[in-house]
Amino acid sequence: SQQGEEDPQALSIQEGENATMNCSYKTSINNLQWYRQNSGRGLVHLILIRSNEREKHSGRLRVTLDTSKKSSSLLITASRAADTASYFCATDGGSTLGRLYFGRGTQLTVWP
Amino acid sequence: DTEVTQTPKHLVMGMTNKKSLKCEQHMGHRAMYWYKQKAKKPPELMFVYSYEKLSINESVPSRFSPECPNSSLLNLHLHALQPEDSALYLCASSHLGVNSPLHFGNGTRLTVT
């Protein structure tokens, strides 16, 4: 499978704490993307990091990419109850055809 | 709210019914996608349209028939479905190009009885 694999599968923290999720993948990539999904809703794109980038920031989000280890991490700082959701990493398998493969996801619960 | 609109939000259909899911976007995106998501699982790609032409079919059974009437609309026609086809069906769109993120609708929750 070309899908990414997130770790941990579930994460439970208190408001104000940082949350770190990891993603590993198997193939070459053009980019790696992170999405968030609230229960029963569609996915929302959070951040895209290109294969030649090592770190990217967006607000309280920090993403790192290590192509030599085929892994990425998503850090959410100062988490809020509203951050409770499932987080998925997605890779394109190096394809230019439009395929995007999603990992199993991490269920994040932030307690007030 | 999302910029990709899917209708209906919920659909219950029998195994002999014919129904259609609809998706609409007005962001000028020329790539559109159908994904299927079972509970507590990641989305799985079904179809990709580029410039209104089917470019990827991920070996989806023929009881699912996609259609892209124009650059803003994407349909998924359903016929003779099985109970195991019950899932959340997500539509997405994007600009063409490898570094274009997907914009998802909120999905249609389909139940096949």
pLDDT tens figures, A39-67: 989 999 999 999 999 999 999 999 999 99
- Asked whether residue A96 carries a pLDDT value surpassing 90, the answer given is no
Residue B2 pLDDT class (50, 70, 90 cuts): low
pLDDT of residue B4: 97
Residues of chain A with C-beta less than 8 angstroms from the C-beta of B23? none
pLDDT of residue B1: 54
Over range A22-29, report the average pLDDT.
Answer: 92
| Residue B98 CB burial class (10 angstroms; 0-12, 13-18, ≥19) | middle
Q: CB of A85 within 8 A of CB of A19?
A: no
| Residue B70 CB burial class (10 angstroms; 0-12, 13-18, ≥19) | exposed
pLDDT tens column, B41-86 = 999 999 999 999 999 999 999 999 999 999 999 999 999 999 999 9
Determine the residue among B56, B99, B100, B108 to mutate to test chain A binding: the one whose Cβ has the most chain A Cβ atoms within 10 Å.
Answer: B99
- Asked whether residue A78 carries a pLDDT value surpassing 60, the answer given is yes
Quick check: A96 contacting B, CB < 8 Å? yes
Residue A6 pLDDT class (50, 70, 90 cuts): confident
Q: Give chain B's mean pLDDT.
A: 95
pLDDT of residue A35: 97
Q: CB of A78 within 8 A of CB of A60?
A: yes
With pLDDT > 70 as the criterion, what percentage of chain B qualifies? 98
**Which residue in A40, A48, A99 is closest to B45 by CB distance?**
A99
Residues of chain A with C-beta less than 8 angstroms from the C-beta of B101? 33, 45, 48
Q: CB of A55 within 8 A of CB of A103?
A: no
